[in-house]
Structure 1
Amino acid sequence: MLWSWGANSHGQLGLCYVNEQVEKPTKINIDFHGNKVKQIACGGGHTLLLDTEGKLYSCGWNNNLQTATEKEVNSFERTWRLSGIVFTNIACGWDFSCGVTDDNFLFVWGSNYYGQLGLPRNEFPDSIKPIRLQVNACEVSMGLRHTAIVNSKGEVWITGCGKHGQLGLGSDKLSSDRFVKVVITGKITHVACGQRHTVSWSSDEKALYVWGDNKHGQLLLQKDKYPKIFSPQKIDIDVRQNVKKLLSGWSNVLLWLEDGTLLAWGRNNYGQLATDQTVVAGQRINIKLPEGRHIKDVAIGSEHALCLATDNTIWAWGWNEHANTGINATQLHISKPTLVPFNIESNFTITQLYCGSAHNFIVIEEDS
């Protein structure tokens, strides 16, 4: 079963209607023909859904063909233009999208205004129908106006807008409409694009590599001394364990470690770091759920976050203008991990959660 809530101005929640916001988790009526949800990716106002057979569905905002369909729809529909292709991973930027195939090729579609699809601007229009690129991709992340991939060699390749250094290609290359290799000494396993920055993690070195805008300390460097970083900087944050997830919002970062620790840093004007205390730029916050709960999964939107605890409860914090958190729609932000009011029957388990710019999805399965 699939549930959603938050902003719905383009039908991105897949509920078969359009409105400003949906304040509570609401069940979506959809038939996957015996398959289950494998992954969901959310953009500024559109959503992609991947089932366990690698089939793609989409709904929501489609002004730049980011849903890979001919029209804007408010319920999940098969993206027939990409039928017959088995996808293993999907990602969304603000108004552009991509999918990684089972043979590690990359399909891209949507807005290419900044070259964020890796297609030459002088040969391709601003809005692109799906095109397969001859690039190898394993991991992929999309930000506001740029895209980063990690290939099977652990290399980062990047394209799009780099005005704030988010491409990591040096101060003399502030834009690209082709995927270009970022010079990094370590082998990268995780990459995450923010609004104007990029962060990555090397599991071999147990180190962060960061570049781009550092206005809010999202790169863990002194913002006065390093307002922008145009080439990757290696940062040892004294973590000697594996990383489960590296996630980025517009200007904040979450790092979920193997031992369950959840570290956050960057901007906190809406409570993105799950604290109401004054945060110094570059300070790391150790986010803990109430009463010693353990984290099962975590997802991050542009300025809010959802966390699934092992006791089958959902906790949220951050920006709440569009009822993003599912908590008290009259509050503009939630500054601490707060329980999302959602009753679930005892024989059902929440298995997945996802965030878009201001909308969310959770997947619930019946216990076998």
Structure 2
Amino acid sequence: MNPVVEIWTWGANSHGQLALDLTCEQIDKPTKLQTEFYDKIKQIACGGAHSVLLDSQGKLFSCGWNSKKQLGHKTEVYTFSRIWRLSGITFTNIACGWDFSCGVTDEHYLFVWGSNSHGQLGLPKDHFGEYVEPIRLQVNVCAISMGLRHTAMINSKGEVWTTGCGRHGQLGLGENTLNSDRFQKVPKLTKISHIACGQNHTVGWCSEENALYVWGDNRHGQLLLNSQEYKKIFTPQKIDISVRKEVKKLLSGWTNVLLWLHDGSLLTWGRNNKAQLGTDAEFSGKIFNIKLPDDRQVEDVALGSEHTLCMATDKTVWAWGWNEHANTGLPYTEEFIRCPTQVPIVTKSKIKQIFAGGAHNFVVIDYDLESK
């Protein structure tokens, strides 16, 4: 039986996070994975130097850095390997932080594992060590995001709950709660539809209000407030950014934020020291509307810590931002890629999915597309 998917990968590979069965500083060009998957891939989440894969049957696989047990394995592995201790459970969503991971089940339960050094897994530190093997939490989860040392989730009521480090205000729980080792409800937030964690900040979107809510570190203008006056925001602030279109995705890098709208617009703001906003314009604390060359329309977009990957409707892939580890798939002689530039992926089949995180990327090609 031949695999139904083909995976290409590139970028940082210091701990084997690209699943190529080797470790090295970086893989400079998009490289085809030798994969044994016979099921379609639903999602790939990328952490600081580890990766977790969710297939269409709800099974989980992982590879890469395992210093804090973030793989759900006993040891590091350099190819996607089944997380057997989570077998028999059907997962529908996954997320990775810097050195921790999670999976959401079809019954909306949350499993967490990896580093709990700052309580980012929502587990009381008095009863759990700094490294945690997969464990189920009694919480209801509809959406989840993980940052450097904190986690934010949305439940079925549209409430936001956070846990972990809050030193910069990223928990949204006020100036008196700078750390939490269990999920706590963020006050005054209801009917939030999208959530995204940055390095030390959190952003949420309310579709009913067409409003952005922001809290945490604002030193680089990533919260769209005056960075001199508001360096840290400890409780959510509502911002009207004059968006009236449906939001498809709200994403965050370490210090930048991106909104992908239903009309295809890409709105981005925050830090631009590594060209992560995809523009040559000087940082001015404003929102930029990024367009792909030749009026191409966006089919999907993914963010790493300081780079962006974008797929157009013609199935071409574009990248911009930090390129130190060839994270953009372009020659690493260029430290920054300042505007959307096509990634050279040579394949006869059509690209279906893109995933990015940390400084690495995955592109999935589905052979079923050829017969349609």
TM-score for the superposition, normalised by structure 1: 0.98
Q: Deviations over 1:201-236 (max 9, x none)?
A: 001111001000000100011111111100000011
Find out whether 1:301 has 2:304 as its counterpart: yes
Runs of 4 or more off by more than 4 Å in structure 1?
none
User: Per the alignment, do residues 142 and 127 of structure 1 end up closer, same or farther by CA in structure 2, a change over 3 Å counting?
Assistant: same
- Structure 1 partner of 2:63: 59
**What corresponds to 2:161 in structure 1?**
157
Question: Could you tell me which of 229, 232, 252 is aligned with 2:256?
Answer: 252
Supply the AA of the counterpart residue of 2:365: I
Letter in 2 for 1:360: N
Instruction: Return the offset for 1:349.
Output: 1.3
The correspondence for 1:25, drawn from 12, 26, 30, is 30
* Paired residue type of 1:61: W
Note if contact 1:186-1:205 (Cα within 8 Å) is conserved in structure 2.
Answer: no
Which residue of 2 is the match for residue 38 of structure 1? 42
Q: How far apart are 1:329 and its partner, in Å?
A: 1.2
What is the rounded CA distance, in whole Å, between the counterparts of 1:271 and 1:255 in structure 2?
Answer: 17
Counterpart-to-counterpart distance in 2, 1:332 and 1:50: 32
CA shift at 1:200, angstroms? 0.3
* Alpha-carbon distance in 2 for matches of 1:241, 1:303: 26
From 192, 195, 218, the counterpart of 1:191? 195
Please say if residues 160 and 190 of structure 2, whose CA atoms lie closer than 8 Å, have aligned partners that are also in contact: no
**Which amino acid letter does the alignment assign opposite residue 255 of structure 2?**
S
> Which residue of structure 2 lines up, in the alignment, with residue 6 of structure 1?
11
Match of 1:340 among 324, 327, 343: 343
Corresponding position of 2:144: 140
Give the superposition deviation at 1:185.
Answer: 3.9
**Deviation readout 1:35-73 (Å, 9 max, x if unpaired):** 110000000000000000000000000000000000101
- 1:142-169 Cα distance to aligned partner (Å, 9 max, x none): 0000000101110100000000000000
Contact 2:8 2:32 in 1 (8 A): yes
Write out aligned runs for 1:231-310 (5 A). Answer: 231-281=235-285, 283-310=286-313
Matched-pair contact (CA < 8 Å) for 2:157–2:190: no
Q: CA RMSD in A?
A: 0.7
Aligned-residue offset at 1:343: 1.9
Q: How far apart are residue 123 of structure 1 and its match?
A: 1.1
1:364 corresponds to which residue? Answer: 365
* Correspondence for 1:98 among 95, 99, 102: 102
Tell me the distance in 2 between the aligned counterparts of 1:276 and 1:241.
26
Which range moved further: 17-26 or 177-186?
177-186
Deviation at 1:292, TM superposition (A): 0.5
Question: After the TM superposition, which residues 104-115 of structure 1 pair with which residues of structure 2 at under 5 Å, given as runs?
Answer: 104-115=108-119
Tell me if the contact between 1:93 and 1:145 (Cα under 8 Å) persists in the aligned partners. Answer: yes
Q: Is the 8 A contact 1:118 1:159 kept in 2?
A: yes
Cα distance between partner residues in 2 of 1:329 and 1:218: 27
2:85 to 81, 88, 91: 81
Amino acid at match of 2:14: S
Q: Structure 1: 5+ residue runs without aligned partners?
A: none
Q: Secondary structure at the match of 1:312?
A: coil
Deviations 1:270-324 (Å, cap 9, x if unpaired)?
Answer: 101001111212x000000011010010000000000001111111000000000
Distance 1:185 1:63, change over 3 A: closer
Aligned pair partner of 1:124 in 128, 135, 158: 128
SS in structure 2 at match of 1:81: helix
Q: Partner residue of 2:328?
A: 325
Q: Is the 8 A contact 2:159 2:189 kept in 1?
A: no
> How many Å apart are 1:342 and its aligned residue?
1.6
What per-residue deviation string (whole Å, max 9, x for no partner) do you get for residues 9-44 of structure 1? 100000111111001111111112x31100000000
**1:159–1:175 Cα contact (<8 Å) kept:** yes
Over the matched positions of the two proteins, sequence identity in percent amounts to 64
Show the counterpart of 1:316.
Answer: 319
Query: Per-residue deviation at 1:186?
Result: 3.6
Structure 2 Cα separation of the partners of residues 131 and 177 of structure 1? 15
Q: Deviations over 1:319-362 (max 9, x none)?
A: 000000011111111111111112221xx211111112100000
Q: Match for 2:26: what amino acid? A: Q
Matched letter for residue 334 of structure 1: I
Cα distance in 2 between the residues matched to 1:273 and 1:147: 24
Aligned counterparts of 2:336 and 2:8: Cα–Cα separation in 1: 22
**Structure 1 residues 18, 137: closer, same or farther in 2, change over 3 A?**
same
Tell me by how many angstroms 1:117 deviates: 0.2
Q: Tell me, yes or no, if the aligned pair for 1:88 and 1:101 is still in contact at 8 Å.
A: yes
Task: List alignment gaps of at least 5 residues for structure 2.
Answer: 1-5
Preserved contact between residue 160 and residue 189 of structure 2 (Cα < 8 Å): no
Give the residue type in structure 2 aligned to 1:86: T
Distance (whole Å) between structure 2 residues aligned to residue 15 and residue 7 of structure 1: 12
- 1:167 corresponding residue in structure 2: 171
- Give the residue type in structure 2 aligned to 1:156: V
